[in-house]
Structure 1
Amino acid sequence: MGKTKVDRRVLRSKLALKEALLSLMAGKSFSQVSITEIMETANYNRGTFYTHYENKEALLDEVLGELIEELIAAFRAPYDQVELFKVEEMPATAVKLFEHIYSRREAYTVLFQSDVLPMVKEKMFSAVKRISNEDLEHETTDPINRELMQAYSMNALMGLVFHWIEGGFQYEPAYMQEQLVLILNYRPGAARTHVRK
């Protein structure tokens, strides 16, 4: 019973420190945030901070690590329970990626407006690409190169996600889910040009 109380206290203090970091990053760059400010905002002392984290970078790593774990779970949702995953048969409701990001939009907004944005994007992209590599064997018809097809797919997906976040969540998650499924099944024909001769 005592262990549960300690665990809850640890979780509470770590959550307060993470929330304090994001709150401070909403007003200034990560490089300008000090450990003292984090402690004061979270209402904890220096000892508590250093019990959990070696430095503010370790605290940020944990914030990002939790988001990435949730991102991976959301990415896997459409195919988690099936052996053969057919994109053309996937309903929009199976896509959970946008729901996850929207549910954590405050954190994503702060991170996407911060000086650590390049690292955030790289971690998100790398995680999705790694999971796609591990989980999915992309079927392509010759002469399409599987490696190139996957690179194209992952860049397109994450480009769409980044565009949505950077646009301030202009569209609802359900709309983004529907659009993604339509895009995945779209087979473009001719394109009209605006080049004037």
Structure 2
Amino acid sequence: MSVQQSQVVTDRRIARTKQFISEAFVALLLKKDIEEIVIKDITETANVNRSTFYSYYRDKFDLLDHMVKDRLEQLNTLWDTERSQSAGYKPDFNTPDPFFVLLFSHMEENEIFYRVLLTKINPATAGADHASSLLGFIREAFYDRITALSMEQKQSVPLDLLLDYISFSTFHMARKWLEQRMIYSSRHMALQLTRLSILGAYDAMGVLQA
């Protein structure tokens, strides 16, 4: 076996071990609060020894930081690819916005992780508000779309309020969806958020027709 082949095997083994550790941690977080979990719980569930854990992570909070960072990097990579392909999207009542499709599909594929992140972890005991990283991604994605159209100075409401309204509503809809164990499909959610965005709250409520 060449040095290069040996390195590939080692890298795969490391990635697999980290995956075991991450999956064990998520499984534990479904059952316990983060402050109740000790490293021994994680290593026994993952079937690795403590020295292996500490060769990759300082503690359980560092592990959580890495897990959140990895998922957001995946999401950013997906959006970087999709952004150019969806640049020509025109709002359509029967065609879900590509951003909503990507976001909800990604969360559906990583359901357990995001359910833990958004509904099980208390920022006060986790050492950081990791959920805010996802909120920041959503806000930045909408900001990029506005600036790409050179519309940031042409909004009928202040840009910061518009971004808050869109990003917080999207974020909390996603959180509620996960809390309810995804009773709707990711595509259905993407389509409904698209329709709400097109209609606006008052039109969706029927107030404008009253």
Residues 150 and 112 (structure 1 numbering): CA distance in 2 closer, same or farther, change over 3 Å?
closer
- TM-score, structure 2 length as denominator? 0.78
The aligned residue for residue 36 of structure 1 is 40
Percent same amino acid at aligned positions?
23
Residues 157 and 33 (structure 1 numbering): CA distance in 2 closer, same or farther, change over 3 Å?
same
Deviation for aligned residue 1:145: 2.0
Structure 2 stretches of 5 or more lacking a match? none
The one of 130, 139, 154 equivalent to 2:140 is: 130
Of 35-44 and 64-73, more deviation after overlay is shown by: 64-73
Q: Structure 2: which amino acid aligns with 1:32?
A: E
The aligned residue for residue 191 of structure 1 is 207
User: Deviation per CA, 1:69-95, whole angstroms, max 9, x where unpaired?
Assistant: 233345566533355664458931732
Deviation for aligned residue 1:125: 0.7
CA distance in 2, matches of 1:28, 1:178: 34
Residues 64 and 186 (structure 1 numbering): CA distance in 2 closer, same or farther, change over 3 Å?
same
The aligned residue for residue 195 of structure 1 is none
Residues 96 and 131 (structure 1 numbering): CA distance in 2 closer, same or farther, change over 3 Å?
closer
Q: Report the count of equivalent residues.
A: 192
The aligned residue for residue 181 of structure 2 is 168
Q: Structure 2: which amino acid aligns with 1:191?
A: V
Q: What is the 5 A alignment of 1:25-104?
A: 25-73=29-77, 79-81=83-85, 86-88=90-92, 91-92=95-96, 94=98, 95-104=101-110
Of 140-149 and 71-80, more deviation after overlay is shown by: 71-80
Let me know the Cα RMSD of the aligned residues: 2.7
Determine if contact 2:25/2:42 at 8 Å carries over to the other structure. yes
Structure with the higher helix share, 1 or 2 = 2
- TM-score, structure 1 length as denominator? 0.83
CA distance in 1, matches of 2:84, 2:38: 41
Q: Structure 2: which amino acid aligns with 1:123?
A: S
Of 92-101 and 79-88, more deviation after overlay is shown by: 79-88
